[in-house]
């Protein structure tokens, strides 16, 4: 199963990265995918990824390959919002073509996305996913290399 490694920026411009395995495509025309940044179990708050997307309306889904799975794992820790998770993980930000958040250079497939809709299923900690629906604007090519998700 591919993991969505989602890059966002806050309203103040702080870069954020986080992995999400609740991730799938839900429409081909128009192309729309969704993933689920759930309510935090620790304090019932919204994750930085969701807060950034609600503020900026844009993000990038970078598909994870096994070569940088350990760096991805670093980004699943609960860092405070002012921490730049590209710096924490050592992954490389490169400018996106169409959206404000950077892409992850190490990722072989990047989808630059604009927010379509946030569906609040539940406000309970882990009780219900908060789905973020979004329209991919650009599909990076895998160039026949193995993605190894």
Ligand X SMILES: Cc1cc2nc3c(=O)[nH]c(=O)nc-3n(C[C@H](O)[C@H](O)[C@H](O)COP(=O)(O)O)c2cc1C
Binding residues for ligand X (CB under 6 A): 3, 16, 18-22, 36-38, 47-49, 73, 76-78
Shortest Å distance, C-beta 63 to ligand X: 12
Shortest Å distance, C-beta 23 to ligand X: 7
Cβ atoms within 10 Å, residue 127: 12
Closer to ligand X at the Cβ: 37 or 102?
37
Closer to ligand X at the Cβ: 21 or 27?
21
Shortest Å distance, C-beta 54 to ligand X: 12
Nearest to 113 by CA among 6, 3, 15, 20: 6
Shortest Å distance, C-beta 29 to ligand X: 25
Report the alpha-carbon distance of residue 46 to residue 131 in Å, rounded. 12
Closer to ligand X at the Cβ: 125 or 140?
125
**Three-class DSSP labels, 76-128:** CCCCCCCCCHHHHHCCCEECCCCCCCCEECCCCCEEEEEEEEEEECCCCCCCC
Closer to ligand X at the Cβ: 64 or 99?
64
């Amino acid at each position: 199963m591919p993991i969505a490694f989602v890059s966002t920026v806050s309203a103040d411009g702080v870069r954020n990265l986080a992995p999400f395995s609740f991730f799938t495509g839900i429409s081909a025309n128009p192309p729309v995918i969704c993933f689920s940044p759930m309510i935090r179990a620790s304090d019932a708050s919204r994750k930085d990824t969701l807060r950034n997307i609600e503020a900026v309306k844009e993000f990038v889904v970078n598909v994870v390959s096994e070569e940088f799975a350990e760096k991805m794992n670093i980004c699943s820790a609960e860092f405070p919002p002012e921490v730049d998770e590209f710096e924490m993980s050592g992954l490389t930000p490169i400018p996106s073509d169409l959206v404000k958040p950077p892409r992850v250079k190490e990722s072989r497939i990047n989808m630059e996305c604009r927010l379509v809709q946030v569906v609040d299923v539940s406000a309970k900690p882990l009780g219900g996913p908060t789905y973020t629906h979004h329209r991919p604007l650009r599909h990076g090519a895998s160039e026949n290399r193995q993605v190894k998700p």
